[in-house]
């Protein structure tokens, strides 16, 4: 499995310049209670490689998985790669790192 760890500054820059599609794999209740602005939700519990592939191909930005702390995002990477998707990056610190640094969140 190929895993590229991205830090907060890299994710923040990619969201700001429109080069990163941040895919939050936390559960719906976690996402609705607070998420990184601009991220999209695809809960790991209902992981659908087809839905992710469709969104990624339509979007054109680099897909990056994110979760609470960087564990579920690696599981999502493994599932995506097993399904043949060319996704290799995740936000290593996840939402806890983002919110802990005082970055803006959406509800």
Could you tell me if residue 106 is inside a domain?
no
58: how many CB neighbours lie within 10 A of its CB? Answer: 8
What pLDDT, on a 0 to 100 scale, did the predictor assign at position 23?
98
Name the β-bridge partners of 65. 23, 90
Averages of pLDDT over each 10 residues, the chain, 107 residues = 96 98 98 98 96 93 97 97 96 98 97
The boundaries of the domain holding residue 34 are 4-100
Could you tell me if residue 92 is inside a domain?
yes
Could you tell me if residue 11 is inside a domain?
yes
For residue 35, the domain's CATH number is 3.40.250.10
What pLDDT, on a 0 to 100 scale, did the predictor assign at position 21?
98
Measured between alpha carbons, how far is 24 from 65 in angstroms, rounded to an integer? Answer: 6
Could you tell me if residue 105 is inside a domain?
no
Domain count, the chain: 1
- The answer for residues whose C-beta is within 8 angstroms of residue 8's C-beta and 6 or more apart is 91, 93, 97, 98, 101, 103
What pLDDT, on a 0 to 100 scale, did the predictor assign at position 56?
93
Closest to 22 (Cα-Cα) out of 80, 89, 72, 85? 89
């Amino acid at each position: 499995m190929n895993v590229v760890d991205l830090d907060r500054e890299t994710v923040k820059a990619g969201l700001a310049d429109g080069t990163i599609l941040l895919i939050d794999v936390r559960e719906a209740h976690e996402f609705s209670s607070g998420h990184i602005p601009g991220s999209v939700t695809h809960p790991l519990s209902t992981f659908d490689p087809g839905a992710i592939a469709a969104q990624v191909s339509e979007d054109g930005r680099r897909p990056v998985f994110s979760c609470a702390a960087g564990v579920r995002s690696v599981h999502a990477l493994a599932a995506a790669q097993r399904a043949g998707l060319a996704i290799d990056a995740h936000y290593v610190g996840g939402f806890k790192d983002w919110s802990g640094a005082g970055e803006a969140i959406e509800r």
